[in-house]
């Protein structure tokens, strides 16, 4: 009876873990040994959670490790390229650093001046 209790308890602990098996803690894209399969259809967000675009291509080095990412900007359709070290991936979305010049340009807002 005691071993049955341990088995049931163990299953109850493992079920949530297995249900989220594809979730990954956010990690720099260049820390992956190869480009994750689901990456090709992932959205790219800025650090504030705004959608910047959708992945077009992942550039890899000679060992297959991601080193750059290109995505189609949602705002104007242009292709934007960022280093894999400036992008994190959690298994669902990519989040890029807002301090990258090409990202800062995408998210800039017009400066308002006071009327004279």
Q: Residues 39-94: pLDDT tens digits?
A: 888 999 999 999 999 999 999 999 999 999 999 999 899 999 999 999 999 999 99
* SS (HEC) of 37-99: HHHHHCEEECCCCCEEEEEEEEEECCCCCEEEEEEEECCCCCEEEEEHHHEEECCCCEEECCC
Residue 6 falls within a domain, yes or no?
no
Residue 2 falls within a domain, yes or no?
no
Q: Which pLDDT band holds residue 31 (cuts at 50, 70, 90)? A: very high
User: What per-residue confidence (pLDDT) applies to 7?
Assistant: 52
Residue 17 falls within a domain, yes or no?
no
CB atoms within 10 A of CB 73: 18
Residue 115 falls within a domain, yes or no?
no
Q: What is the CATH number of the domain that holds 70?
A: 2.30.30.240
Residue 5 falls within a domain, yes or no?
no
Domain tally for the chain?
1
Mean pLDDT of 30-40: 91
Residue-number span of the structural domain to which 88 is assigned: 24-107
Cα separation, 20 vs 8, in Å, equals 19
């Amino acid at each position: 009876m005691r071993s049955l209790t341990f088995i049931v308890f163990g299953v109850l602990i493992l079920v949530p873990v297995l249900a989220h098996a594809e979730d990954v803690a956010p990690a720099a894209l260049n820390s992956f040994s190869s480009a994750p399969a689901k990456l090709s259809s992932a959205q790219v967000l800025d650090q504030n959670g705004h959608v910047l675009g959708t992945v077009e291509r992942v550039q890899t080095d000679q060992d297959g490790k991601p080193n750059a990412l290109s995505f189609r900007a949602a705002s104007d359709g242009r292709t934007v390229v960022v280093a894999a070290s400036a992008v994190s991936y959690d298994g669902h979305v990519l989040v890029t650093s807002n301090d990258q010049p090409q990202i800062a340009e995408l998210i800039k807002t017009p400066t308002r001046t006071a009327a004279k």
